[in-house]
Chain A
Amino acid sequence: MEYFVQQLIIGVTLGSIYGLIAIGYTMVYGIIGMINFAHGDVFMVGGFIALTAFLALLAIGVTSIPLALFLVLLIAMALTALYGWAVERIAYRPLRHSYRLAPLISAIGMSIILQNFVQIAQGARVKPLPPIITGGHRVMSSEGYDVDISNIQIIVVLTTLVLMLGFSWLVAKTRLGRDMRACEQDLKMASLLGVNIDRTISLTFVIGAALASVAGIMYLLYYGVIDFYIGFVAGVKAFTAAVLGGIGSLPGAMLGGLLIGLIETFWSAYFSIEYKDVAAFSILIVVLIFLPTGILGRPEVEKV
C-alpha cells in the first residue's frame, strides 16, 4: 500500500509534465490538423534554455534561488515561445497549402534540426544539475516504508494545475481563445469571418511552446539531468497522452498525460523498468487502433 501511494505520487508528477507537453500537440492538431513532430524538441530546447539561463544568472551574481528561478521561468517561456513561433514561420506556414505529406516531413526535418543544433551547441553529454529545490513532507509511514512527497513534486503538480486553469480560461473567455476555437471548427470559414488565421496559428504555437518550456524546466528540476535526446521520447509519450485523452481536447491532454505518467510509473515499479518505454509506445499503437478518438475526443467524420 505504501509503495503504491509512493508510486502514485511519482506517476502524477510525471503525468503533469507529459500533460503540459501534450497540450501543445493537441492544440496544434486541433487547429491545423497536423502533428507538430518538433514539439518534443521544443520542450527539450526549453529545458536547455532554462539550464543555461540559470547558470548564467548564478554566474552574474543572482544568488537568491527563488528570484533566479522566477527569472529563469520568464526567460525560458519567452525564448522557447520564440522558438515555437520561428518553427511555425519557417517550416509550416509556407506549406499550409502544399500536399499532405509535406508539412509532416518538414516537421520531422525541424525536429532533426533542433536536436542536432542543441547537440552541437551544447554538447552531447548529459548535463547534471544538483538539486535546487530540496526538502519534502512525510505523507505516511509504516513498517519501515516511508511515503514522501517532495517539494519539487508539489511544485510540479501545482504549477501544472495553475497553468491548466489559466489556459482553459484563455481558451474559454478571451478573444484569442475564441479565434482559436473558430479556427478549430473551420479554418476557411474563420478567415472569412475576419479571424486573423496566421496570427491565431502563430499564437497557438507560441503558447504551446511556452507551456512546453515550463514542462522542460520542471523536468530539469525534477530529474536534475538533461540531454539533447529527451525531447524525442518525451515527445512521443506526450503525443500518446494527447491521443489517449482525445486529440483536440484540452482536458483530454491532461487526463492522457496523467494516465501515461501513471502507467509508465507503475509499469516500472511492478514489471520491468527496461520495458517502460516499450509499454508507453505500445499503448500508443493500441489506443490508435482501438480507440482512435481517445477518451474525451469527438468522433471524426471523414470529409468526402
Chain B
Amino acid sequence: MTVPNEAATSIRTPHLLIALKDATLSGFVAFGLFFFLIGLRSEQGSTGALEISTRFQTLALLVAAVFAGTFLRTLAFGRGPIPIAGAVPASVTDFLASAGRFAAPALLIFALLVPVLFYQNRYLLDLGILVLTYVMLGWGLNIVVGLAGLLDLGYVAFYAVGAYSYALLATHFQLSFWICLPLAGILAAFWGILLGFPVLRLRGDYLAIVTLAFGEIIRLVLLNWQSLTGGPNGISSIPRPSFFGLPFTEAEGSFASTFGLEYSATHRVVFLFYLILALALLTNWVTIRLRRLPIGRAWEAMREDEIACRSLGINTTTTKLTAFAIGAMFAGFAGSFFATRQGFISPESFTFGESALVLAIVVLGGMGSQLGVAIAALVMLGGFELFREFQLYRMLVFGGAMVLIMVWRPRGLVSTREPSLRLDDGKAAAQDAK
C-alpha cells in the first residue's frame, strides 16, 4: 500500500523533550487503561463472594514499558508513522522474493519427508497434521478473503458442516470416508450458496457481520439440536479412516497384515498426515489454477473494484457466490478430515475463535499469497506449540498481530503478487511449468 506522504514530509525532529512528553502522556493513558483491569483483580474467595486483590507491580512494569516504548519510538522515528518500507532494506525484500521461489518447493519436500524423518516422534506428526489442517483452511479462506476480497467471519461454520456431515453420514449410514468426503464438501458448498445468495449483495462490512452471525447460528443449532447432534456432548466413535478399505488395526485383513508389516499405531498417523497433505495440496492446486482462469481474475478484479467489474459486464453476484461456495467446499473437506482424525466432534471446536484464527493466518500470510498462508499457519501454530506455557496469550498475540499487520503491511507479510498472465507467451509458459 501507499505510504502516506506525511512520512516523507513530517518534521523529523526527534527532540528529547517531545519524546519525553509523548512518553509521559502514553504512560498516563496506560495507567488509566490498566489500573482497574490489571492493577486490581477480582476473584471469587472461599465464601463465594468476590474479593479484590492488587497487582501494582505488574501495573507499574506495564506502564513503565509503555513509557519506555513510546519514548524510544518517538526518539527514533518522530511522531509520524514508522517508515516500515525503509525499515526493511530492499535487499532483504528482494532476497525474500527470490527465496520465495525456492521456499515453496523446499517446504513441499520437507512436508513430504516429515513422516520419514520423524517417524518415531508421534507428537511432531500430530502437530504436523494440525498445522496442515490449518494450512488447508487458510488456503480455502484465502479464496474468499484474499482473492475475492469478501470478509467471511463465519468460515468455521462450513468446517463444522463438513465435520458433522461426515460424522452423521458415517455413524448413521456406515458410509466410508471416501464417499463422505465429497459429500461433505458438496454440502458445505451448498450451505455456502444458501447463505451467500441473499447476503452477497450486501456491502463488505455487512457481509462480515452476517457471516459472523451465521457462524454463531450454526454453532448454536449444533449445540441445541440434541437429538441429531448430541448437543454439547457431540458425536463420538466416528469411524477412523481406512487405507482404501484396509483398516489400521491388528486384525487379519488390516493394512499392516496385507502389506506384511508389523502393526504399529503410527501407520494411521502417517496415513492421516499424507491424507491432509494431499487435501491441502489439492486446495492449493485448484486455487492456483483458478487464479489463471477468468473466474479467478474476476475475483481479484472484484476485490480491487466491484463497480468497475459491473461496468465490464461481470456478474458480481455469481462471481462472489462461486468464491464463497468453493471456499466453503474446502472447509467442508477439511471438516470431514477433522472428524475422522479426532473420532469425536462437538460444537466446542467450531467457535468464532477458530474463524478468527484462520482469518489471522490468511491476513498475516498476505492475502492472496499461497506461500504466505502456509508459512503463517506453520509459524502461528508451530510457534505456539513451542511456547506452550504461553497458551493463554495465544489469541492476544493473534489479535495484536492482526492490528499491527494492518497498520504496517496491510497486504500481509508476503505481499508480492505474481501476475496471473504475462504478455510474453514464452514467459507465461514458463510460469505454467513452475
CB-based contact B402/A106 at 8 Å: yes
Inter-chain CA distance A277–B38, complex, in Å, is 31
CB-based contact B52/A289 at 8 Å: no
Q: Given contacts A98-B1, A284-B209, A284-B210, are A106 and B406 in contact (CB under 8 A)?
A: yes
Decide if A74 is an interface residue (CB 8 Å cutoff): no
Decide if B237 is an interface residue (CB 8 Å cutoff): no
Inter-chain CA distance A112–B202, complex, in Å, is 24
By beta carbon, the residue of chain A nearest B408 is A94
Decide if B377 is an interface residue (CB 8 Å cutoff): no
Decide if B344 is an interface residue (CB 8 Å cutoff): no
CB-based contact B403/A90 at 8 Å: yes
CB-based contact B224/A274 at 8 Å: yes
What does DSSP make chain A's interface, helix, strand, loop or mixed? helix
User: In residues 208-230 of chain B, which contact A (Cβ within 8 Å)?
Assistant: 208-210, 212-214, 216-217, 220-221, 223-224
Decide if B33 is an interface residue (CB 8 Å cutoff): yes
The proximity string for A residues 280-293 relative to B, scoring 1 for CB distances below 8 Å and 0 otherwise, is 01101100110010
Q: Given contacts A104-B204, A281-B217, A288-B202, are A109 and B406 in contact (CB under 8 A)?
A: yes
Most buried by B among A34, A90, A121, A282: A121
Q: Given contacts A35-B208, A120-B393, are A108 and B37 in contact (CB under 8 A)?
A: no
CB < 8 Å: which of A110, A122, A282 contacts B399?
A: A110
CB < 8 Å: which of A99, A109, A127, A282 contacts B402?
A: A109
CB-based contact B151/A52 at 8 Å: no
Most buried by B among A94, A108, A123, A274: A108
The proximity string for A residues 103-143 relative to B, scoring 1 for CB distances below 8 Å and 0 otherwise, is 11110111111011111111101011110000000000000
By beta carbon, the residue of chain B nearest A304 is B307
The segment from A75-83, A152-160, A185-193 that touches chain B is A75-83
Decide if A55 is an interface residue (CB 8 Å cutoff): yes
Decide if B331 is an interface residue (CB 8 Å cutoff): no
CB-based contact B206/A122 at 8 Å: no
The proximity string for B residues 167-188 relative to A, scoring 1 for CB distances below 8 Å and 0 otherwise, is 0000000000000000000000
CB-based contact B149/A101 at 8 Å: yes
CB-based contact A113/B399 at 8 Å: yes
CB-based contact B214/A285 at 8 Å: yes
Residues of A contacting B367 in the complex (Cβ-Cβ under 8 angstroms): 101
Decide if A65 is an interface residue (CB 8 Å cutoff): no
Inter-chain CA distance A304–B309, complex, in Å, is 12
Chain A nearest CB: distance from B257 CB in Å? 48
Q: Given contacts A129-B50, A292-B202, are A52 and B213 in contact (CB under 8 A)?
A: no
Inter-chain CA distance A129–B48, complex, in Å, is 10
Decide if B205 is an interface residue (CB 8 Å cutoff): yes
Residues of A contacting B153 in the complex (Cβ-Cβ under 8 angstroms): 108
Inter-chain CA distance A274–B396, complex, in Å, is 30
Q: Given contacts A35-B209, A48-B36, A292-B202, are A56 and B52 in contact (CB under 8 A)?
A: yes
The segment from B39-47, B93-101, B134-142, B312-320 that touches chain A is B39-47
Chain B nearest CB: distance from A197 CB in Å? 15
Decide if B272 is an interface residue (CB 8 Å cutoff): no
Decide if B410 is an interface residue (CB 8 Å cutoff): yes
Residues of B contacting A284 in the complex (Cβ-Cβ under 8 angstroms): 209-210, 213
CB-based contact A52/B209 at 8 Å: no
**What interface size band does chain A fall in?**
35 or more
Decide if B112 is an interface residue (CB 8 Å cutoff): no
By beta carbon, the residue of chain B nearest A281 is B213
**What interface size band does chain B fall in?**
35 or more
Inter-chain CA distance A125–B43, complex, in Å, is 9
CB-based contact B402/A108 at 8 Å: yes
Chain B nearest CB: distance from A242 CB in Å? 10
By beta carbon, the residue of chain A nearest B352 is A232
CB < 8 Å: which of A56, A98, A289 contacts B406?
A: A98
CB-based contact B359/A55 at 8 Å: no
CB < 8 Å: which of B32, B52, B204, B402 contacts A52?
A: B52
CB < 8 Å: which of A98, A113, A285 contacts B396?
A: A113
Chain A nearest CB: distance from B164 CB in Å? 16
Inter-chain CA distance A51–B205, complex, in Å, is 33
CB-based contact B50/A55 at 8 Å: yes
By beta carbon, the residue of chain A nearest B39 is A52
CB-based contact A278/B221 at 8 Å: yes
The proximity string for A residues 163-206 relative to B, scoring 1 for CB distances below 8 Å and 0 otherwise, is 00000000000000000000000000000000000000000000
By beta carbon, the residue of chain B nearest A117 is B396
Residues of A contacting B363 in the complex (Cβ-Cβ under 8 angstroms): 105
CB-based contact A127/B202 at 8 Å: no
Inter-chain CA distance A243–B352, complex, in Å, is 21
Decide if B81 is an interface residue (CB 8 Å cutoff): yes
Decide if A45 is an interface residue (CB 8 Å cutoff): yes
Inter-chain CA distance A90–B407, complex, in Å, is 9
CB-based contact B81/A94 at 8 Å: yes
CB < 8 Å: which of A53, A94, A275, A281 contacts B36?
A: A53
Decide if A68 is an interface residue (CB 8 Å cutoff): no
User: In residues 125-179 of chain B, which contact A (Cβ within 8 Å)?
Assistant: 145, 149, 151, 153
CB-based contact B37/A45 at 8 Å: yes
Q: Given contacts A52-B41, A108-B359, A288-B210, are A79 and B36 in contact (CB under 8 A)?
A: yes
Inter-chain CA distance A112–B212, complex, in Å, is 14
CB-based contact B81/A116 at 8 Å: no
Inter-chain CA distance A75–B39, complex, in Å, is 15
By beta carbon, the residue of chain A nearest B410 is A102
Decide if B395 is an interface residue (CB 8 Å cutoff): yes
CB < 8 Å: which of A91, A240, A289, A302 contacts B199?
A: A289
Decide if A295 is an interface residue (CB 8 Å cutoff): no
Chain B nearest CB: distance from A71 CB in Å? 12
User: In residues 239-298 of chain A, which contact B (Cβ within 8 Å)?
Assistant: 239-240, 243, 274-275, 277-278, 281-282, 284-285, 288-289, 292
| 16 interchain pairs, CB-CB under 8 A | A35-B206, A51-B50, A52-B52, A55-B51, A79-B35, A98-B410, A99-B410, A105-B359, A105-B363, A112-B399, A121-B41, A278-B224, A282-B217, A285-B198, A288-B202, A288-B210
A-B contacts besides A75-B36, A104-B208, 13 pairs, CB < 8 Å: A51-B50, A52-B41, A55-B40, A82-B33, A97-B4, A98-B406, A105-B151, A105-B402, A108-B359, A109-B406, A111-B399, A116-B396, A127-B50
